Amino acid sequence: MTITKTETKTTNTESSDEDPLRFHQPTINDGAAIYELVQACPPLDLNSNYVYLLLSTHFAQTCIVAYDADQLVGFISAYRHPQKKQTLFIWQVAVHATMRGRGVAQKMLDALLDREGLEDIRFIETTVDPDNSSSRRLFEKLAQRHQAQLTELEFLIAEHFVKPQVEPLLRIGPLTTNLL
């Protein structure tokens, strides 16, 4: 499956000669491609296309997309915690199957945390299925690189869901600033 964007408007683009990936805030034009990417990334829960359009507009400053040429290869949805303004909650991390194992998710996290307007973020929170070892490693590495503590707390338990599952909360912090 090729996931492309119909119109290229990039802001906050970061790339280098060694790494052709481009990272930027999503725009409304990325919404459909984000939907298709998440759909191609089980076991991630697929939200409606409308949700990804809202994330690409209302929450663009705290979300990030990764492009390799004109192909969308990565997406992170995140938002500032409403009661903890220095906490960024990472909701979904999606990387296209052809790009896994290349550090794309880590690079997206780094670019997001280095974004203007997010300098005051000191904590990362996320929920990770206990069986999702790659996602857990991603956040363990983030904590190590930022010399921050990773704490696992009970958060969403089986009784909260229609289909029983468990989603513990991972809290990372306090983050050291600008390790990039």
Domain boundaries, the chain: 21-173
> pLDDT tier at 20 (50, 70, 90 boundaries)?
confident
pLDDT tens, residue by residue, 97-137: 999 999 999 999 999 999 999 999 999 999 988 888 889 99
**For range 146-169, the mean pLDDT:** 75
Burial class for 65, CB neighbours closer than 10 Å (0-12, 13-18, 19+): buried
What mean pLDDT, rounded, does the chain reach?
86
pLDDT per residue over 64-92, tens digit each? 999 999 999 999 999 999 999 999 999 99
With tokens 């400053």, the residue in question is 61
**Confidence at residue 51, expressed as pLDDT on a 0 to 100 scale:** 97
Which residues have C-beta within 8 Å of that of residue 18, sequence separation ≥ 6? Answer: none
CATH class as words, domain 21-173: alpha beta
What are the contacts of 130-138 at 24+ separation with CB within 8 A? 130/166, 130/168, 132/43, 134/100, 135/93, 136/170, 138/93, 138/105, 138/106, 138/109
